[in-house]
């Protein structure tokens, strides 16, 4: 009988928790330790997002994003149903309000069909009114199976599965670095914390907002670097809960790297608009100024950021309005949901996106996975990372197993 393999997974966001579960699902004899620096799961990106289960409309056919998103949706729904995690298949419309947007929307629809996104349909103004009576536009792309979910609850269920499978979960345990030890029996990975060090056959690092720093401390490249962007959400007063039936998005503007302000149903039944996208002065500051000196200096010292900023000044000007004024935020959404004009509400806790950036200032769009002997680093897992989490876990474990073979 072969020796039991020892695995470590760093980070108990949705991807890390899914990876730990996937290892145990495949090999119930495996020893798995899940490390997390916070005192519970889903403390950062997973617990501060819009809750949308993306159908895969926008992603380039053949990209890892597109492939893993479609697989991830199926796995996510199956897991949620088996673990009583709240899901609402409320549907989504992407709304064109100008002829230029309508042309771009046709291209998005063709791309979605090429990837096999189910039951997507182009709607004229009358068709849009039938699906979303409170929304106005020239045309719309309807994705009836786009859903919302409780990602925090789902991650907690994944962690519970890890424990049931015999895995060890170490909260409040920051990992300082990963070291590779080479010996006569092959390579092993050592996970070092402030208090101890343990040796493993394989380590998979899912460190999100800290992915570049942990990689660098482990002797790997700092590139791509992480530049944090915050997204603010505005929760509307209860009187607006019925303004839309599902999710309402604008057509993405190719001049800007983010999707723009959209109207989103919440899993608790409420309605919110957002997010904007603006440089964050902290990787983990979710309220107030969110100022962290170390994080701010890291951005200031990043040549890629300044190249990105120089090419995206119009985006910054557009987004600062929503940062300073919720009225601007609401007005943007009211372009296609007129009843929201002048709507009142409250700011929600912001989310922070771990945006990987190349040295030339270009944003890293697809998932990036880097292997270093027995260690594997997830360097970029942007949206739809949460939607794709269980499929990403399959992909990572497949990759680790093939490398070890």
Q: Which tens digit of pLDDT belongs to each residue from 91-133?
A: 999 999 999 999 999 999 999 999 899 999 999 999 999 999 9
Instruction: Give percent of the chain with pLDDT exceeding 90.
Output: 77
The count of other CB atoms within 10 Å of the CB of residue 5 is: 16
* Residue position matching structure tokens 């601007």: 328
Mean pLDDT in the chain?
92
**Model pTM?**
0.94
The pLDDT score that the predictor gives to residue 154 is 98
Q: Kind of pairing, strands 31-35 and 168-170?
A: parallel
- 21-30: average pLDDT: 96
Check residues 316 and 170 and name the one with the higher pLDDT.
170
Which CA distances in Å does 298 have to 156, 175, 379? Answer: 32, 20, 17
User: CA dihedral defined by 388, 391, 395, 396, rounded to 10 degrees?
Assistant: 70
- 167-176: average pLDDT: 98
- 212-219: average pLDDT: 97
Q: Which tens digit of pLDDT belongs to each residue from 321-332?
A: 666 678 888 998
The pLDDT score that the predictor gives to residue 360 is 94
Longest CA–CA separation in the chain, Å: 71
Q: Which tens digit of pLDDT belongs to each residue from 26-51?
A: 999 999 999 999 999 999 999 999 99
């Amino acid at each position: 009988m072969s020796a039991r393999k020892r695995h470590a997974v760093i980070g108990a966001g949705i991807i890390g928790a899914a990876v730990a579960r996937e290892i145990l699902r495949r090999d119930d004899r495996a020893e798995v330790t899940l490390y997390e620096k916070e005192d519970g799961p889903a403390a950062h990106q997973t617990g501060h997002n819009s809750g949308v289960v993306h159908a895969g409309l926008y992603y380039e056919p053949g990209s890892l994003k597109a492939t893993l998103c479609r697989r991830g949706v199926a796995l996510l729904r199956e897991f949620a149903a088996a673990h009583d995690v709240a899901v609402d298949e409320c549907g989504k419309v992407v709304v064109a309000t100008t002829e230029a947007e309508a042309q771009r929307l046709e291209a998005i629809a063709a791309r979605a069909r090429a990837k096999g996104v189910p039951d997507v349909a182009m709607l004229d103004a009358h068709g849009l009114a039938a699906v979303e009576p409170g929304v106005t536009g020239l045309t719309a792309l309807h994705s009836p199976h786009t859903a919302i979910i409780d990602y925090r609850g789902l991650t907690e269920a994944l962690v519970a599965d890890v424990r049931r499978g015999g895995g060890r979960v170490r909260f409040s345990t920051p990992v300082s670095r990963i070291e590779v030890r080479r010996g006569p029996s092959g390579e092993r990975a050592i996970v070092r914390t402030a208090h101890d060090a343990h040796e493993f056959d394989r380590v998979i690092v899912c460190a999100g907002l800290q992915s570049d720093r942990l990689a660098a401390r482990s002797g790997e490249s700092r590139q791509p670097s992480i530049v944090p962007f915050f997204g603010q959400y505005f929760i509307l007063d209860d009187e607006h809960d019925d303004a839309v039936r599902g999710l309402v998005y604008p057509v993405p503007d190719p001049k800007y790297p983010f999707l723009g302000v959209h109207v989103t149903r919440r899993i608790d039944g409420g309605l919110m608009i957002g997010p904007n996208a603006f440089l964050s002065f902290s990787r983990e500051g979710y309220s107030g100024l969110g100022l962290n000196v170390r994080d701010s200096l890291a951005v200031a010292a990043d040549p890629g950021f300044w190249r990105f900023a120089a090419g995206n000044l119009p985006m910054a000007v557009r987004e600062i309005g929503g940062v300073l004024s919720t009225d601007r935020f609401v007005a943007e959404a009211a372009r296609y949901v007129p009843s929201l004009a002048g709507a009142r509400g409250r700011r929600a806790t912001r989310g922070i996106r771990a945006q990987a950036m190349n040295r030339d200032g270009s944003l890293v769009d697809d998932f990036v996975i880097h292997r270093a002997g027995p260690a594997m680093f997830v360097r970029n897992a942007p949206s739809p990372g949460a939607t794709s989490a269980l499929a990403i876990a399959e992909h990572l474990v497949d990759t680790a197993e093939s490398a070890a073979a």
